[in-house]
């Protein structure tokens, strides 16, 4: 692979993360398709394509909801412990690399347990279990997704410690309760 292809892929992957952050899932699919044209087995592009397809399916479910709905929902919040302190000792590109890897670990674990990431804010995430597709065991799914995240972070921490001198620890909070799923005027649900 030539250096031009590598820099092209890196630019497309950056554009993919930016599109996902804006919730522009069609752009995510478009960018990933371009990456996969260059490198058909590109892991990040394959994962984001799968996530984008599930998100676009979710949008169709949201659009088909005609009325407000009471539902049991489990919400997960997670973020990196001491991430602000990390920014003081790491270079911006190092922090970006770490955040991208963290986001992929979390996204994959949540998707595996049928969760839906509602929002990323820096290193923090909010995910729903039991929406848009209800599951009777949404609390279990959220707990298992959290444990999966922790296991996978433990697996990549030795590399982070040797390369960057940091260890990623994450806080995870999970709560289940009754909500009203509704369009709140800004196009968001829940």
Q: Is the peptide bond before 132 cis (omega within 30 degrees of 0)?
A: yes
Other Cβ atoms closer than 10 A to 40: 9
pTM of the entire predicted model: 0.63
Q: What is the DSSP letter of 133?
A: S
**Structure confidence at residue 23 (pLDDT):** 77
Q: CA-CA distance, 122 to 100, in Å (whole number)?
A: 10
- Percentage above 70 pLDDT, the chain: 84
Per run of 10 residues, the mean pLDDT along the chain (length 190 residues) is 65 83 80 83 79 63 53 92 90 91 92 88 90 85 96 94 92 92 55
| pLDDT score recorded for residue 30 | 81
Dig out the tokens for 21 from the structure.
């952050």
**Each residue of 116-147: pLDDT tens digit?**
888 888 889 999 998 777 788 999 999 999 99
């Amino acid at each position: 692979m030539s250096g031009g292809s590598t820099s092209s892929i890196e630019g497309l992957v950056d554009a993919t993360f930016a599109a996902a952050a804006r919730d522009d899932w069609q752009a995510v699919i478009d960018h990933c398709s371009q990456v996969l044209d260059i490198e058909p087995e590109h892991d990040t592009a394959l994962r984001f394509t799968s996530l984008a397809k599930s998100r676009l399916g979710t949008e169709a479910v949201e659009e088909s909801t005609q009325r407000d709905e009471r539902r049991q929902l489990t919400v997960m919040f997670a973020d990196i412990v001491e991430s602000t302190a990390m920014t003081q000792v790491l270079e911006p590109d190092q922090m970006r690399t770490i955040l991208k890897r963290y986001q992929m670990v979390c996204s994959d674990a949540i998707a595996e347990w049928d969760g839906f990431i509602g929002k990323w804010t820096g290193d923090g995430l909010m995910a729903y279990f039991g929406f848009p597709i209800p599951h009777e065991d949404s609390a279990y799914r959220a707990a298992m997704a959290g444990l999966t995240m922790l296991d996978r972070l433990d697996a990549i921490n030795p590399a982070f410690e040797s390369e960057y001198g940091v260890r990623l620890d994450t806080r995870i909070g999970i709560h289940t309760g009754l909500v009203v799923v509704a369009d709140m005027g800004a196009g968001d649900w829940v």
